[in-house]
Amino acid sequence: MSQIAKSSNLSVVLITRDHSDFILECLESIQREFSQTVPVFIVDVGSKDETLSIIEDFTEENFLTAKVISTKRELTPLDAFRVLIGHIETDYISVISGDDFFLNGYGALVNQISTERSGNVLVQFAHAVVDHQSKKIGERVPRWTSNPKLDRKKILYSNPGATAGSLLPWKILVEKCLDDKDFNTMIEDYYFSCKLISSVTFKTVKDEVVAYRHHPNNLMKNTSQVEYVLSLGICVRLAWNIAKNPIEKLTTLFLFFRWGRKVPMTCLPAMIRGFFKQTI
């Protein structure tokens, strides 16, 4: 049992949609890793399966103190974070998706970091990649260096992070990433990285304390979905915007080939359209 003590500087955010096959394992990991004093916010993005009822039953039967918010299905992950503006008062949020879950020791680590820091660091942890049955099939280690120049270059080439399990500076996130409600993208982790690179310290923790689920029903990573491909183009533009010189700007265009090779020809115009879409 690795349950942590009371933390006044940390909230847990769970975002889910159609995760009825996995949500119970996620909820159990939250209950195991965090004490009842840590605020938990659950945003269900219009689930059509049994996800919401499983959440309601679990929170009632296990006395998990959580605020559950049900939203419209068409909301993106970025929208889901915006729903929480005005609800969260802590400096940090610990983020998890309904198809992922925390491993033993996660709670103690984020409690220590959130206690020591004053809301100015973005932390990502190593992930055990699991399949539909929660069997480990791989691993993923984030590649932040805590060197802003090197980290910016990593962003220009790819996406060195992931939202799952991340410890995010909530107040800075609201100010830098969530204030423009007219701007949207389905790929929130890349957006956060680009927008926060000059505002916070990026930190990698190589402890494998988060399970990231790889499964075919991951709706937010469907390269045949026009909205997702449009977001890929937006990400290239975000990288272009943070490039500091002509060479770095040319480097960002490599992302068109890196990401575009998996996109059907019929969707490529959406990716190009995303690049020319106004980004903040």
What is the tens place of the pLDDT at every residue in 108-150?
Answer: 999 988 888 777 899 999 999 999 999 999 998 888 888 988 9
- Cα–Cα dist 171/262, whole Å: 35
- Cα–Cα dist 136/129, whole Å: 6
Q: What is the pLDDT of residue 7?
A: 58
In tens digits, the chain (280 residues) has pLDDT values of 454 545 578 999 999 999 999 999 999 999 999 988 899 999 999 999 999 999 999 998 887 789 999 999 988 889 999 999 999 999 999 999 999 999 999 999 999 888 887 778 999 999 999 999 999 999 988 888 889 889 998 899 887 777 888 999 999 999 999 988 888 888 899 999 999 998 999 999 988 999 999 876 654 456 668 888 999 999 999 999 999 999 999 999 999 998 988 888 999 999 999 999 876 5
**Polymer length of the chain:** 280
Q: What is the pLDDT of residue 39?
A: 94
Q: What is the pLDDT of residue 5?
A: 42
- Token pair belonging to 223: 């390269």
Q: 60: left (phi > 0), else alpha (psi -120 to 50), else beta?
A: alpha
Task: Check if the beta carbon of residue 118 is closer than 8 Å to that of residue 172.
Answer: no
Q: What is the pLDDT of residue 223?
A: 61
What are the boundaries of each domain within the chain?
10-218, 226-275
CA proximity to 18, closest of 55, 44, 56, 57: 44
Task: Check if the beta carbon of residue 32 is closer than 8 Å to that of residue 64.
Answer: no
Residues 6+ apart with CB under 8 A from 1: 32
- Token pair belonging to 225: 């979905």
Write out the DSSP string of 158-199.
S----STT-EEEHHHHHHHHSS-TT---S-HHHHHHHHHTTT
Q: What is the pLDDT of residue 272?
A: 93
- Cα–Cα dist 166/93, whole Å: 8
CATH number for the domain formed by residue range(s) 10-218:
3.90.550.10
Bridge partners of residue 44, in order along the sequence: 16, 70
CA proximity to 128, closest of 29, 224, 34: 29
